[in-house]
């Protein structure tokens, strides 16, 4: 073999070097930025953004293991932030509707009482009391959901 064909024809020749591809872990920067701007309960979106930037720094520094760790933490924080943000918006809308209807029932009860309609006043007063119970239950469910999501996020970040 001459020197010209030695590098091309022989795969074990000195000119053929096989490099293993470096894994490219996700850093979730855009998702973290979205959560930091729009879904940021308990500053989880901002904390996720910090971990995403750290993951990107590790990726640039050619440390895929560190980038994967920070990226995984950012992912779990983003899931928690988005879940809590959506839950907060839904809970806020439902609570505003319940408060509005509750105030309307109290107003109707007062108007019926002024007009001398005792049955109407009792009926609207009972509806307002039921709405107060629903309001209290919704607050309790919201608090339990928030605590559960934070607990799950903390457990997932330790795995």
pLDDT at 17 (0 to 100): 64
Query: pLDDT for 66-108, tens place per residue?
Result: 999 999 999 999 998 898 888 888 888 888 888 888 888 888 8
- The answer to whether 106 touches 128, Cβ cutoff 8 Å, is yes
pLDDT at 83 (0 to 100): 87
Domain regions of the chain by residue span: 26-158
CB proximity list for 66: less than 8 A, separation 6 or greater: 55, 58
- Predicted TM-score (pTM) of this structure: 0.65
Phi, psi of 127 (to 5 degrees): -65, -40
Cβ atoms within 10 A of the Cβ of 64, count? 15
Residue 20 has pLDDT above 70, yes or no: no
Closest CA to 74 of 100, 94, 95, 53: 53
Query: pLDDT for 118-157, tens place per residue?
Result: 898 888 888 888 888 888 888 888 888 878 877 777 776 6
Provide the 3-class DSSP secondary structure of residue 145. helix
Instruction: Taking the CA atoms of 129, 131, 134 and 135 in sequence, report the sign of the dihedral they define.
Output: negative
Query: pLDDT for 130-139, tens place per residue?
Result: 888 888 888 8
């Amino acid at each position: 073999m001459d020197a010209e064909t030695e590098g091309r024809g022989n795969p074990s020749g000195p000119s053929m070097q096989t490099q293993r591809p470096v894994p490219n872990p996700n850093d979730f920067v855009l998702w973290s930025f979205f959560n930091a701007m729009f879904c940021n309960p308990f500053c989880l979106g901002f904390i996720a953004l910090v971990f995403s930037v750290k993951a990107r720094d590790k990726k640039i520094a050619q440390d895929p293991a560190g980038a994967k760790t920070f990226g995984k933490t950012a992912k779990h924080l983003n899931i928690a932030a988005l879940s809590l943000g959506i839950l907060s918006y839904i809970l806020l809308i439902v609570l505003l509707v319940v408060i509005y209807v509750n105030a309307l029932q109290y107003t109707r009860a007062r108007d019926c009482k002024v007009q001398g309609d005792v049955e109407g006043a009792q009926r609207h007063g009972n509806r307002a009391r039921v709405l107060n119970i629903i309001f209290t239950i919704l607050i309790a469910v919201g608090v339990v959901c928030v605590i559960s999501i934070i607990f799950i996020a903390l457990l997932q970040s330790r795995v």
